[in-house]
Chain A
């Protein structure tokens, strides 16, 4: 029983990172039907911006809460700017043209971000300050829960809750949901479609950056290639939950995190990906729209 709970805790922690990135995929996909392959790499950019702040600029010597707030807020804003640039420069001109071309551009962007990061921060592994956060925690029976884990899951849930509230409760959120259904109808209702698309990219980038910083704090080590696997897992999570569906992305992220933790724990890390994709494919065969995806009405 001990290891099981331990794996569960690990799975939920890692899963919440995936969930955050998956939300980025899902929001952008919901609005413009684009799989933004650079999503995982945005997370990497966020992680490196946070590292720059904490280590290079020495923010780690500030009081802990100040350092943490800065380490989250600045990368989230910075990454949002980067993503807006990507949208404006690389995706916007192609939005109405060819979905395949835009997909290739997204893949090119992923490559671009990775290689730019390598150029700026170097190819080596960088380390987040390891002793920034206290290593102690709670013992719940046999399970050791560190405060870091609790805090990370808490922050993730906070961000996700904020996002859901924003989309469900506010006027702008309603506009986003309208846009997800029908661009032209939304435009006719006076919604500024371009502004909403920009907003989706800002939100997606901020969530990705937050997960990048959390990943740095949790695993300590970061590298310019880290976005690939993260992006892949998150994309899988988004599809598993039903792409375009927000609770689906969160649940998908958690599920993938758990699955990964159990496989690594009970079997071996070697088969992690095979199992993750195997589950995904099985789910899609049984339920082609993903776990929470709604049935898309067939055009008559």
Chain B
């Protein structure tokens, strides 16, 4: 008993000290740890140990870069050596041919590799990850072979006699010097990586990895984020390459093979994908282990292979995996009065709407007033093979109303939604929102135009906390730039706090504030639907599309849902609803459209639609009781 109590105390003390440790800014922790490691290596003074340590630092730098691509953005890259090569060759050629100083070559090396990342990334981003594997592999091989065949870059012999760097008059020459430079570059890389991971970009990447389609549909520009990961990863690799070139003093194409790409991939997967300490540990193992195995000479690689497979089997998550501790919701925020929340949302939302209307009018577009058409669908046709899912459908949704689309299963309702939100491109027809066509726009652009949505099957980001899900919904409204995220500037911090604040308000709005810290999957079905609603609202849309929000809810929950939908309308947001629950539809809708076999068979006020013989026939067939009327009575 006493022992357990002591354990408990020790545990608490541990947690407390860990919390205290976390309060120290990350960059200070990195600098302290690297200084301790660096100091002990340098004091040891052994040239061999130091040179191995420089290699570890180089691989760690490469690992950090690839980690952005593979670990954060979830894109497989088997040709990472290409960036290493481009960085090394750029720096080496500038130093040997143009006699530049090493440090002056770095910006160009980084620029070239970043561009190479964009060139590789842009055309390939739409590919599935397995295809990316071979394309990146091919890119790596093409780069190497090009250097091999390029006489100006020394062909197969490469570039020799690359001078050592000169730092404001100090000539770097010993392994110790290089180690210090390597550590500094590594520290910078780590701090940037950590900042990115903890910014809206990091959140966006996690969302894309979990469900790219859902991420795009709530406003995350997935292609841009992926491209950015490539560019960022490429720049890192370029930096490492330049460092490698000057340190070794001679480079040739054989330094940049597929094997190197694989080794760097091993560094991060072995260490723990997405984990910064994991990358360091992985680099240490990948570089250090073969050194330790030197005595086995011939069987070195064989033993390495066996150990690698063994580690992967025992710890598929890596040696030092990324820990996602229970996120603390609303950490660092001040309490708000409960009653305040609704008022603040209303105030904030009205400000947003007015600002949008003003901008819209300033751009010369017509701003629909309440009662005028906000969404115009005209002659919409969508066809899958021989099946006409939507056939010449036209309707308007007026600003400020609740409009429901109903109809038997397979009627084409969700297809209409998908056309409006840019998931599908309609075969024919016009869709105008706010007076402008949205046909052919990517889903995240449509979100930023002011259309939010939820999904028929719930598509929350399962491994994110509830409040983080809502924060992803706020993505389109961030005002900070990427460089601010990387440097974690005060402006970026304020922006993050504001995002946090708003996510809390929206969760309060749907009545889920107390569950904010839970994982999305831990919530009940009805609550998950409410999180989706909060996520859709977070971007301050003009129009929200709800796809069967009441599915799987019990009567009490449905009643609450009706309340939420009305509250949304009261904010001035227009609602377009697909729903099968007739009593709910009849209760909340201002107008209803009925779709059957892709054709709009009725349109009007609830009472009119209920009496419409065509609608009754579509639901029940001929000569049957009027169940819709019964349902309304229930």
Contact = CB atoms under 8 A, between A and B. Distances in A.
Contact of B213 (A90, A290, A299): A299
B414 interface: yes
A68 B507 CA distance: 73
A277 B138 contact: yes
Interface stretch (A150-158, A193-201, A278-286): A278-286
A94 B501 CA distance: 41
Interface in A88-102: 90, 93-94, 97-98, 100-102
B141 A273 contact: yes
A37 to B, nearest CB: 9
Interface in A264-290: 270-271, 273-274, 276-278, 280-281, 284-285, 288, 290
A236 interface: yes
B141 A90 contact: no
Interface size class of chain A, counting residues whose CB lies under 8 Å from the partner chain: 35 or more
Contact of B302 (A35, A93, A119, A239): A119
Interface in B266-304: 266, 269-270, 273, 298-299, 301-302, 304
A273 B145 contact: yes
B130 A107 contact: no
A280 B137 CA distance: 11
A300 B418 contact: yes
Contacts of A280: 134-135, 138
B324 to A, nearest CB: 15
A273 B142 contact: yes
A107 B262 contact: yes
Contact of A300 (B76, B126, B309, B456): B456
A107 B266 contact: yes
Contacts of B611: none
Interface string B302-317: 1011101100110011
A232 B127 CA distance: 19
A162 B76 CA distance: 34
Interface residues of B, number: 48
B132 to A, nearest CB: 9
A100 B268 CA distance: 10
A104 B302 contact: no
B383 to A, nearest CB: 15
Interface in B550-586: none
B265 interface: yes
A274 B146 contact: yes
A68 to B, nearest CB: 33
B133 A35 contact: yes
Interface in A225-282: 232, 235-236, 239, 243, 270-271, 273-274, 276-278, 280-281
Given A104-B308, A107-B266, A274-B142, A94 B134 contact: no
Contact of B299 (A102, A103, A119, A281): A119
A111 B138 contact: no
Nearest to A86: B309
B128 interface: yes
A103 B269 CA distance: 10
Given A115-B302, A243-B130, A281 B146 contact: no
B126 A239 contact: no
Contacts, number: 122
Nearest to B298: A119
A109 B299 contact: no
Interface string B367-379: 0000000000000
A288 to B, nearest CB: 5
A101 to B, nearest CB: 4
Contact of B312 (A94, A112, A239, A277): A94
A101 B316 contact: yes
B131 A274 contact: no
A276 to B, nearest CB: 8
Interface string B300-339: 0110111011001100110000000000000000000000
A3 interface: no
B410 to A, nearest CB: 13
B467 interface: no
B138 A108 contact: no
A32 to B, nearest CB: 12
A97 B269 CA distance: 13
A43 B418 CA distance: 47
Interface string B138-150: 1101100110110
Contacts of B316: 94, 97-98, 101-102
A296 interface: yes
Which of A94, A115, A290 has the most B CB atoms < 10 Å from its CB?
A115
B189 to A, nearest CB: 21
B439 interface: no
Contacts of A101: 269, 312, 316-317
A230 B631 CA distance: 67
B456 A105 contact: no
A285 B123 CA distance: 6
A103 B312 CA distance: 10
B127 A104 contact: no
Contacts of A102: 312, 316
B305 A239 contact: no
A29 B130 contact: yes
Given A299-B213, A300-B418, A277 B142 contact: yes
A265 B134 CA distance: 25
B463 interface: no
B123 A108 contact: no
B537 interface: no
Contact of B266 (A33, A35, A104, A288): A104
A94 B142 contact: no
Which of A90, A107, A280 has the most B CB atoms < 10 Å from its CB?
A107
B619 to A, nearest CB: 24
Given A239-B131, A278-B142, A284-B135, A109 B305 contact: yes
B124 interface: yes
A225 to B, nearest CB: 11
B70 interface: yes
Contacts of A33: 130
A116 interface: yes
Given A35-B133, A274-B146, A104 B124 contact: no
Interface of A: 29, 33, 35, 90, 93-94, 97-98, 100-105, 107-109, 111-112, 114-116, 119, 232, 235-236, 239, 243, 270-271, 273-274, 276-278, 280-281, 284-285, 288, 290, 296, 298-300
13 contacts: A29-B130, A100-B269, A101-B269, A102-B312, A103-B269, A105-B309, A107-B262, A108-B312, A111-B305, A236-B138, A270-B148, A274-B145, A284-B135
Report the 8 A-B pairs with minimum CB-CB distance, sorted nearest first.
A277-B138, A115-B302, A101-B316, A112-B305, A111-B305, A108-B308, A108-B309, A285-B123
Given A90-B313, A119-B302, A300-B456, 9 more contacts: A100-B273, A107-B265, A115-B301, A271-B149, A274-B141, A280-B135, A284-B127, A285-B124, A288-B126
